[in-house]
Amino acid sequence: MTVLPRRVTLRTQFFFRAALGLSLLGSLFCTAQVSLADDPSEKEKEAQKLFLEGRDALARGENEIACVKFRGSLALFPVANTRANVAQCDEKEGNWIAALNTWKALLPELPEGDPRRTAALGRIEALEAKIPKLTLTTPPDFPRDAKVTVDGVVVESSKWTNAILLAAGEHSVVVDVPGRKEQRFAVTLSEGEKKNLPIHPAPAAVPTVTVSATAPPPPPPPAGMSTQRIVGLAVGGLGIAALIGAGITGGMIVGQDGDIQKQCQPGAEPGSKLCTPLGMSLIRDGEPLRLANGVLFGVGLAGLGAGVVLYLTGGSAPKAALTPIVHPHGGGATLTGRF
């Protein structure tokens, strides 16, 4: 790479030719002898040394080594010529955003009318046309306490609607609101593309109500309830339980009768049946079930009725007795007393 055809110090020496592939700047680059500034500091001396080594590496076609030297020189003592070479390195390596920022940082160091300034402005315009830009759009009710990141980098809320410069390719946008799940968006950008991406937070969590699978216990009796009413509630509850048992056994009997019908046929005499051994066994086994059904049904009706009466007449002193009745073909209960 060459520099301008004039003697210059490290502060004024400028761009190298476009060995990095930037032919637009090639006409500005030619060789020149480099001299030290008056009474340079140690950093200036080391920066100049690295700069000259980078120039020589570039002349040999060793672009990677040259870029390392130029960046080292810029870190020690930033001047316009070194900054321009680093910008060209960034462009060649595909770091367009870094190159754009370096070219922009160079402009204040170049006076108006300087052909190098014109070249720098041309690179800035070319890079701004190539670099993809993403603009985030938010709804009016977008939470102000949301944290928005693009590829893991936080975007300040004041810049959410500004164009973000990104490299071409895939990118990830994450919206994180306290108390909600992260909302993720994926976007792909191509060279020179400008794209708007509507973003929004995840929906707010809906509070859930846990319902117990077991029935709640019955409420305690009201204060001052009489003993008779308490007995009435207990007897009524017993009657309801007995009726439930009667319903269950009744269903079993119905099912069993269906099986008996399949095993028995009407006999020659009216009301008689001819049954298989299995049918006879089902009939015998069903007798206890029928007896239990009758008893439960009778006790249930009697208990429920007695409970209602006891509760309604809880203000008086009852004299009542509940007597279950069991007989071979069923059962029941009798309630006797004075209310």
CA distance linking residue 206 with residue 187, whole number of Å: 29
- Backbone phi, psi, residue 265, to 5°: -125, 150
Give the per-residue pLDDT at 9: 36
Show pLDDT as tens, one digit a residue, over the chain (339 residues). 322 222 333 333 333 333 334 434 533 533 333 444 555 788 899 999 999 998 899 899 999 999 999 999 999 998 888 898 999 999 999 899 999 999 999 899 888 988 889 889 999 999 999 999 999 888 888 888 888 999 989 988 887 778 888 988 899 999 888 888 988 989 999 988 888 898 888 888 766 666 555 666 777 655 566 777 777 677 778 778 877 876 787 777 777 677 767 777 776 677 667 777 776 777 777 678 677 777 767 776 776 777 677 667 766 444 555 565 555 555 555 656 554
Q: Strand, coil or helix: what is 209?
A: coil
| CB burial of residue 121 (10 Å; 0-12, 13-18, 19+) | middle
What residue has token string 């870094």?
98
Q: What are the residues whose beta carbons fall under 8 Å from the beta carbon of 48, sequence distance 6 or more?
A: 10, 34, 36, 40, 73, 77
Q: How far apart are CA 190 and CA 192, in angstroms?
A: 6
Look at residue 253 in the predicted model and tell me its pLDDT.
75
Chain centroid, CA 222 distance in Å: 50
What is residue 279's predicted lDDT score, i.e. its pLDDT? Answer: 67
Note whether 55 and 159 are within 8 A (CB): no
Tell me what pLDDT residue 17 has: 35
Is-contact 264 279, C-beta < 8 A?
A: yes
| Tokens standing for residue 101 | 């920022």
Nearest to 24 by CA among 65, 84, 104: 84
Q: Where are the beta strands (DSSP E) in the chain?
A: 8-9, 34-35, 133-137, 147-150, 153-155, 163-165, 169-176, 183-189, 194-198, 264-266, 273-275, 319-327, 330-338
Q: Tokens 């009407």 identify what position? A: 266
Token digits for 270?
A: 């009216």
Q: How far is residue 240's CA from residue 251's CA, in Å, rounded to a whole number? A: 17
pLDDT at 97: 92
pLDDT of residue 71: 93
- The residues with which 134 forms a beta bridge, in sequence order, are 164, 195
3-state secondary structure (DSSP) of residue 288? helix
pLDDT of residue 199: 86
* Structural domains present in the chain: 8-129 (1.25.40.10), 133-198 (2.60.40), 227-338 (no CATH)
For position 3, what pLDDT does the model report?
Answer: 28
Give the chain's count of helices (H) and strands (E). 7, 13
- The amino acid present at 253, given as its one-letter code, is I
Q: Are 322 and 333 in contact (CB under 8 A)?
A: yes
Torsion of CA 44, 45, 51, 52, to 10 degrees: 150
Residue 112 to residue 85: CA distance in whole angstroms? 20
Structure confidence at residue 58 (pLDDT): 87
* Pair type for strands 163-165 and 8-9: unpaired
- In angstroms, the CA 339 to CA 336 distance is 10
Element (H, E) at 96: helix 96-106
